[in-house]
Amino acid sequence: MSEPLDRLVRHAHETRVIVVGGGIAGLVAARECAKVGLRVTVLEATDVVGGVVRSAEVGGLTLDVGAESFATRGGVVRDLLDELGLGGDVVSPNPAGAWVAGVPGVGAAPLPKGGVLGIPDNPFAPDVRRVIGWSGAWRAYLDRVRPPLTIGHAHSLGKLVRSRLGERVLDRLVAPVTSGVYSARPDDIDVDLAAPGLNAALTRTGSLTGAVAEVRARRPQTRPADAPASDAPVTEAAKAPAPGGAVQGIRGGMSRLVDALVAGLRDAEVEVRTGVRAERLSRTADGWAVSTSVNDEALSARAVIVALPEGPARALLAPVVEGLEAAEPIAPVVEVVTLVLEAPALDAAPRGTGVLTVPGSHVAKALTHSSAKWDWVRDAAEPGVHVVRVSFGAQGEEPATAALDDDAAADLARSEAAAMLGVELPASALRAAHRVRYVQSQPAATIGRAAVTQAAREAVRAVTGLGATGAWLSGTGLAQVIPDARDEADRVRSVALWTS
């Protein structure tokens, strides 16, 4: 080895980077830093790493109880899975679509195929008409005959859809998607961020349905601001295939990604410490000190990457980052109840792979029929046994399960599942249940959000040796979180490596 290279390698080994947060963002950031030989320590407050990507034993089955798929867009998640040797276990979901439930006068119906965020390109298509009825279709048709939209410049998705296509399209097709996928009302969604290219297409075509048709024809180039399972992250709706493009999963569950990342980190001699909460960041002469929850221990490092949810991230960063507010905006809370049911009536997958709801029609927000969606879940369960995930809570609305104990929450989830799936699910059908609560990031596609995250990023980047990543900055969903964590780690590690 040449003398300068030798010095660089030694410098890297002596340079410590602390990654705060052991979710996917933190694990990926740690991996990137370890790749160039830096000495990396990951601090995770809870007893397990993975954050929202987590599994649990429910009724003898190991199941994802957080994220359960990834958007294939861009190929970034797939590339990581290939690097980790998991590429051969990538699986596609059952292509049967999701349904929408709670449609007045109709009950449940398949979610129309196509469209953008639930906005149809043809209101008279039979699957669209089934949901909005003839009167809804004629009202939506006015979009084609009304004076053309010469300037496509609507910000609010809700306002745009209401004015062009009417309340039925808004309430029955668009709101179930935004509420399920983004945990947000259509009025709060920024068209430009949720459906890039739609505004420009409006100007060209003069109608909203025409714009949808044009955007769909060019779809591979469009990319929404949030992108979890089907284009959103957050909820079970993310798992409904129609709204946002292709998703895939891993045979055995997404938590295998976490296991593989951790194994790689251990091989690279990264120290992964669980049960250690970072409590305070402070400047030192040559870097940073991180005070932790363990016996007032303070760890020193040349650089720190904060990979936490928004609330804890702001609390840690605000005292050392000028211009960064400590308080986070009100964040949506969601509870996911996973049910293992002995219910042969579900063998026929009566509502495809899952159900979104018309807001206000059900207590639950969405449901995934996991054993209909994923062959590996179906194969793991005995015949006649099914796995259903029911999610509760939306923006500005506490989950209906929040005040209930676990048994009562499971009971509510079971009765909601019966209503949404259109089958009887008596108490005796319930084999086991698991409940978990998540505080989500504000969706990146909500109006005004992009400016908030951009300001936070710039403030952090102005501070040498400090980085921040995670869903609150990148947008939710693994296809957003993973590349952002890589980029941020790359930026921070360059500074750590080239300064002495």
Residues that bind ligand FAD (CB under 6 A): 20-26, 43-46, 51-53, 66-71, 228-229, 233-234, 238, 277-278, 307-309, 312, 334, 336, 438, 440, 470-471, 476-478, 481
Q: Whole-number minimum distance, CB 224 to ligand FAD, in Å?
A: 13
Q: Whole-number minimum distance, CB 472 to ligand FAD, in Å?
A: 7
- How far is the C-alpha of 174 from the C-alpha of 170, rounded, in Å? 5
Q: Whole-number minimum distance, CB 279 to ligand FAD, in Å?
A: 7
Residue type present at position 316: L
Q: Which residue number, 331 or 345, has a Cβ lying nearer to ligand FAD? A: 331
- How far is the C-alpha of 104 from the C-alpha of 108, rounded, in Å? 9
Q: Which residue number, 12 or 489, has a Cβ lying nearer to ligand FAD? A: 489
Q: Whole-number minimum distance, CB 66 to ligand FAD, in Å?
A: 5
- How far is the C-alpha of 440 from the C-alpha of 226, rounded, in Å? 12
Q: Which residue number, 202 or 238, has a Cβ lying nearer to ligand FAD? A: 238
Listed residue (327, 325, 329) closest to 443, CA to CA:
329
- What's the start-to-end Cα distance of the chain, in Å? 20
Bin 325: left if φ > 0, else alpha if -120 < ψ < 50, else beta: beta
- How far is the C-alpha of 203 from the C-alpha of 73, rounded, in Å? 26
- How far is the C-alpha of 236 from the C-alpha of 339, rounded, in Å? 14
Q: Which residue number, 172 or 365, has a Cβ lying nearer to ligand FAD? A: 365
Q: Whole-number minimum distance, CB 159 to ligand FAD, in Å?
A: 27
Bin 423: left if φ > 0, else alpha if -120 < ψ < 50, else beta: beta
Q: Which residue number, 12 or 260, has a Cβ lying nearer to ligand FAD? A: 260
In angstroms, what CA-CA distances link 91 with 63, 223, 234, 261, 377? 15, 22, 20, 19, 11
Q: Whole-number minimum distance, CB 123 to ligand FAD, in Å?
A: 30
Q: Whole-number minimum distance, CB 402 to ligand FAD, in Å?
A: 15
Q: Which residue number, 154 or 481, has a Cβ lying nearer to ligand FAD? A: 481
Q: Which residue number, 275 or 323, has a Cβ lying nearer to ligand FAD? A: 275
Q: Which residue number, 195 or 334, has a Cβ lying nearer to ligand FAD? A: 334
Q: Whole-number minimum distance, CB 405 to ligand FAD, in Å?
A: 20
DSSP state string for 233-288: -SSGGGG-STTT--EEEETT-THHHHHHHHHHHHHTT-EEEES--EEEEEEETTEE
Q: Which residue number, 25 or 194, has a Cβ lying nearer to ligand FAD? A: 25
Q: Which residue number, 307 or 423, has a Cβ lying nearer to ligand FAD? A: 307
Q: Which residue number, 274 or 500, has a Cβ lying nearer to ligand FAD? A: 274
Q: Whole-number minimum distance, CB 67 to ligand FAD, in Å?
A: 3
| Contact in structure between 227 and 237 (CB atoms under 8 Å) | no
DSSP state of 196: T
Q: Whole-number minimum distance, CB 474 to ligand FAD, in Å?
A: 7
Q: Whole-number minimum distance, CB 8 to ligand FAD, in Å?
A: 30
- How far is the C-alpha of 498 from the C-alpha of 431, rounded, in Å? 57
Q: Which residue number, 20 or 429, has a Cβ lying nearer to ligand FAD? A: 20
Q: Whole-number minimum distance, CB 367 to ligand FAD, in Å?
A: 13
Please count the other Cβ atoms lying within 10 Å of the Cβ belonging to residue 78. Answer: 16
DSSP state string for 90-144: EEPPP----EEEEETTTEEEEPPSS-BTTB-S-TTSHHHHHHHHHHHHHHHHHHH
- How far is the C-alpha of 339 from the C-alpha of 285, rounded, in Å? 53
In angstroms, what CA-CA distances link 151 with 100, 115, 157, 206, 453? 32, 21, 15, 8, 28
> Is the CA virtual torsion 125, 127, 130, 131 positive or negative?
negative
DSSP state string for 309-373: -HHHHHHHHTTTSTT--SSPPPPPEEEEEEEEEE-GGGTT-TTTTEEEE-TTS-SS-EEEEHHHH
